[in-house]
Amino acid sequence: MEYLKLSNGVEMPLLGYGVFQVTPEECERCVSDALSVGYRLIDTAQAYFNEEGVGAAIAKSGIPRDEIFLVTKVWIANAGEEKAAQSIDESLRKLGTDYIDLLLIHQAYGDVFGSWRAMEKAYRDGKVRAIGVSNFQAGRFFDFAHYVDVKPMVNQLQCNALMQQQGIEPIHNQFGTKMMAWGPLGQGAEGFFSNEVLNAIAASHGKSVAQVALRWLTQRGIVAIPKSTHRERMEQNLNVFDFTLTDEEMARIATINQHDTGTINFGDPQFVKYLIETYG
Ligand code: A2P
């Protein structure tokens, strides 16, 4: 496994297992499989309703807690200093741990500055080893990072070979923020696994499209958290550190970028209204 150093010196695995869209019923089995094939970073969220399954799998694995890097996220309904603080304790309880390795604000809505104060306190109190945000697009990210004391160590965004998030990288760099990619395999959408450039590069390395897509992210220094409910795919997706993409291949993949900022427009008032009315 290769690691990325966050701005506070915390080392984070470059590849992890994401449980977005893994049902609460399946979560424990999936995380147990992921841990047994070698994943040591697990990414969950309050809004995935599967933190308990993650906690149960970790407890049963027998793997020392300090060998696992656990990520969770504060949901919109828990925004604000008091509610976020309570939700952090609730996440700790559900995950069956006394610290979270990386805690993120899940969405850029509601009282995010209040949430951040609670997260900074949890960080100072040792309940959390690193703090960051998720789904903060460039302008929103800049505003937030400019005004907070502890700068976000991570921004987790929808990012993959067809949605490369190149535009936000220079802004992250101003604050020492590292990028984490959700949907690193395009969420299995049509057109991803059939992409010609990815297939040609995969064939020349004797690797799969998934492995090339994950290698491309990790080689850019972006943490990837592919999701799969199949053990053999989990294994395949972890096996990306035994080959290197050439500069020419990296440049070719840069040309297939289709939606730099991802497919969700987080600034669209209709989308914001939907999220706030449904979850806020
Ligand atoms: P499944 O869970 O049935 O294995 P993302 O990580 O971008 O959200 O993508 C997840 C999607 O990609 C899921 O539909 C998952 O299906 C599929 N997937 C994950 N790994 C692979 C792989 N190595 N080859 C093909 N499909 C994969």
pLDDT score at 66: 97
> CB within 8 A of 91, min separation 6: which ones?
46, 51, 72, 100, 103
| pTM of the full structure | 0.96
Question: Mean pLDDT of all residues in the chain?
Answer: 96
Q: State the pLDDT at residue 266.
A: 87
Cα separation, 59 vs 71, whole angstroms? 16
Residue 195's pLDDT is what? 97
What is residue 275's predicted lDDT score, i.e. its pLDDT? 87
User: What residues are paired with 158 via a beta bridge?
Assistant: 182
Is 193 a residue whose pLDDT tops 80? yes
Q: Whose CA is closest to atom 23 on ligand 1? A: 233
Q: What does the pLDDT read at residue 22?
A: 87
Active site annotation includes 48: yes
User: Average pLDDT for residues 85-97, to the nearest whole number?
Assistant: 98
How much is the pLDDT for 188? 87
User: What number of other Cβ atoms are within 10 A of residue 271's Cβ?
Assistant: 12
% of residues, the chain, pLDDT over 90: 89
- pLDDT tens-digit series, residues 20-49: 988 888 999 999 999 999 999 999 999 999
Cα separation, 91 vs 76, in Å, equals: 14
* 126-170 per-position pLDDT tens digit: 999 999 999 999 999 999 999 999 999 999 999 999 999 999 999
Work out the average pLDDT over 72-97. 97
Token pair 């972006």 is at which residue? Answer: 222
Which of 44, 194, 233, 239 is the pocket-test mutation for ligand 1 (most atoms within 8 Å of CB)?
Answer: 233
Question: Residue 174's pLDDT is what?
Answer: 98
* Residue 16 pLDDT > 80: yes
Per-residue pLDDT band at 265 (split at 50, 70, 90): confident
The size of the chain, in residues, is 280
Q: Which of 48, 109, 123, 279 is catalytic?
A: 48
pLDDT band for 190, please (50, 70, 90 cuts). confident
Token look-up 């943490």 returns 223
pLDDT band at 173 (very low <50, low <70, confident <90, very high): very high
Residue 278 is predicted with a pLDDT of 86
Ramachandran sector of residue 145 (left: φ over 0; alpha: ψ -120 to 50; beta: rest): alpha
pLDDT score, position 28: 94
Supply the pLDDT for residue 206: 98
Q: Which of 157, 227, 237 has the most ligand 1 atoms within 8 A of CB, as the residue to mutate?
A: 227
**Which pLDDT score, from 0 to 100, does residue 65 have?**
97
Q: Which atom of ligand 1 is nearest to the CA of 211?
A: 23
